[in-house]
Chains A and B, each alone.
Chain A
Amino acid sequence: MKSLRAAIFLAFGVLALGVYGLAEARGWAGDGKRVPERIEPSQLRRASPGSWTYVYWYHGVRGK
């Protein structure tokens, strides 16, 4: 019983450590958000420096 419990705990611990190592290796942060990628052409026309639409237009990608 005690050995079984320890074995289960060991398995759980190894899994947790695996996730920990993976999170570090892959650079998981968990608190970064990605903005919508689709931009309507009409929004582009109203783009002004500093706006999100301007960001997309400035870099010449996404939605153009």
Chain B
Amino acid sequence: MALLETHGLTARYGDFKALFGIDFAIQTGETVAIIGSNGAGKSTFLRAICGLLAASPQSIRLDGEAIGGASPAEIVRRGVAMAPEGRKLFPSLSVEENLLVGAWSQKARGYWTLESVYELFPMLREKRLSPAPALSGGQQQMATIGRALMSNPRLLLCDEISLGLAPIVIRDLYAALPRIKQGGVSLVIVEQDIAQAMAVADRVYCFQEGRVTLTGPPSELSRDAIHEAYFGH
């Protein structure tokens, strides 16, 4: 059984329909990358999974249980955490407080604690008392991922993980992903950098205008097929 799957997931912003029946699945232990141009519906897809957008109950299943339309709080409790696009750290909280807020729904101690997040991203320990806006973009992304990990999720959704970051910073972030997976977390990564996505993902989904246009393991996808799925005809 898939860890998380969607069947015919649709989503809309008011009158604007943003997703047209997305079929998606991720198995436990997998890393899945979602690629696609701006406006392809990648972020909308993650927002729908997190409960920020309305979805019909059966269209999203976690461990086979229908969770579509559940509240974000319920989804976090069930083990799905999000590192949102644009980092979205809480500006009036310190780095450490941001991490602690991530543990809000956490009743029992799990693998991820302040200590294990600081081990993963040592820079955050040095900056733990700084206000979140004082961090660089890369450090903010680390704090965002750390904050999501603090809920000890089984599935971590990273939206636009490398957007706007320097290559060396992106390298550091991606270097941390295997260690995150060792902690028992499956990953969905939204990434505009196709090469980066292909390098880490077990499977790739390409979105275009709210539809899945291509899916498969990176090794089986040709350049031309990706080009067509990404940019259309």
Query: A and B: partners?
Result: no
Binding site for B on A (CB under 8 A): none
